[in-house]
Structures are given as structure tokens and as C-alpha cells.
Amino acid sequence: MKKVRVFLLLLVGLLLVALPVQAQSPSPYQTYTLGPGQFYWYTQAAYTPLGEFPLPLDGPEDMFYAPDGYLYVADTGNSRIVKLDANFGIIDEFGADVLDEPTGLFVDGDGIIYVADGGSDTIVILDAEGQIINQFGRPSEPLFGLNREFLPRKIAVDARKNLYIVSEGSVNGLVMMNTNGNFIGYFGANAAEMSV
């Protein structure tokens, strides 16, 4: 009887070891989709985290994956732009002596870094080594608006080097400027109809 009990325990132990078990933690968020009747339904996770990477960042507000294969992060709390490699290791940092609170950034194919600095309300353009190419604030052209504030928060650049700037509180669309700081116009302004 004792041999049978030992044999059964051994058999159960082997079965438990042989059965595959999958272990994973749930996503830290839920994904929903709009279904019939305009109700939200749970769906499988649209994105799953790759992992956690402890980086010495303080309140990062923007990131940009550049054509050179590096990830650039606007490290707002530390007043700098950080360049990361594919393993999220810090390769370089830029603008620590120039930037106040970078909130938006864009890197073009030449490695030029365009920064919307929300702390000083300026646009800062840096070369690939982090040296200042240009820095400018509120446009002085009358078409921009005489009393309009310039509060840049995000930035994008097209192939012709036109800057498209999200200015906080602007209702006229994106602010378009050139790399010299000259106002070009507004892009994507909402059409407003007269009402009585």
C-alpha cells in the first residue's frame, strides 16, 4: 500500500511538472472599444508594456523617435533634452545650460533639435552637438496679434523647415514660423460662423 501511495504521489508530481504554465502580469490599464448601442466594451490590450526602465528623468513631457534611430526625451524637470539608445541608455544630453522647461521637441534628418521651451516661452534650435543655432520668442509681426500671448508647448517641423507650434491658449490654429523666428501664419484654424 505504501508503494502505491508513493507511486501515485510521484505520478501526480510528474504531471504537475510536465504541464505548461503561463505566468504574466496584467496590463496596467484597460482597453475599450465602442460597441453596439454606443457602449464601451473591454477588449484585449492594444499595447502591452515592454518593461520598466529606471531613468533619471523628472517630469518628461515629450519624446521623439528620430531618423538616426535614437529616442529623444524632453526632460522637463531637469531642463534638458536626453538622447537614448535602443536599450534606453543615456547617450547624450543637450540644452541643460539653455533650456528652462522643455515641453516639446522635434529632431529632423540632419540631427537638428527643435525645442518648445514652456518655461521661457521660447523656441530653441540646437545642432546635433547641442550648440544653439537660434533662439526666439513671441513673433513681432502685426498679423500674429498685438496682444496675443506666445506660450509654445509642442513643435513639429516639415521638410521645408517650417515650424508648426502648439501655443497654449491659441484659438487660431498652430502658429507657423520659419527658423529665423518670422511669423508665417496660422495652420488649421477652426472655421467660425457668425451667430446672433
Kindly state the average pLDDT of the residues 164-176. Answer: 89
Distance CA 41, CA 191 (A): 34
pLDDT at 108 over 90: yes
pLDDT at 135 over 60: yes
pLDDT of residue 163: 96
What domains are there in the chain, each with its CATH number? 60-187 (2.120.10.30)
One-letter amino acid identity for 131? Q
Summary count for the chain: helices (H), strands (E)? 1, 14
pLDDT of residue 141: 86
Q: Which of 18-32, 45-59, 138-152, 178-192 has the lowest mean pLDDT?
A: 18-32
Q: Residue 24 — pLDDT band, cuts 50, 70, 90?
A: low
Higher-scoring residue by pLDDT: 25, 156: 156
Kindly state the average pLDDT of the residues 109-123. Answer: 95
pLDDT of residue 7: 80
Q: Which residues neighbour 176 within 8 Å (Cβ) at sequence distance 6 or greater?
A: 162, 163, 164, 165, 183, 184, 185, 186, 187
pLDDT at 68 over 60: yes
Q: Residue 20 — pLDDT band, cuts 50, 70, 90?
A: low
Region class of 114: left (phi > 0), else alpha (psi between -120 and 50), else beta: beta
pLDDT of residue 6: 80
Radius of gyration of the chain (CA): 26
Higher-scoring residue by pLDDT: 37, 51: 37
Q: Residue 9 — pLDDT band, cuts 50, 70, 90?
A: confident
pLDDT at 19 over 90: no
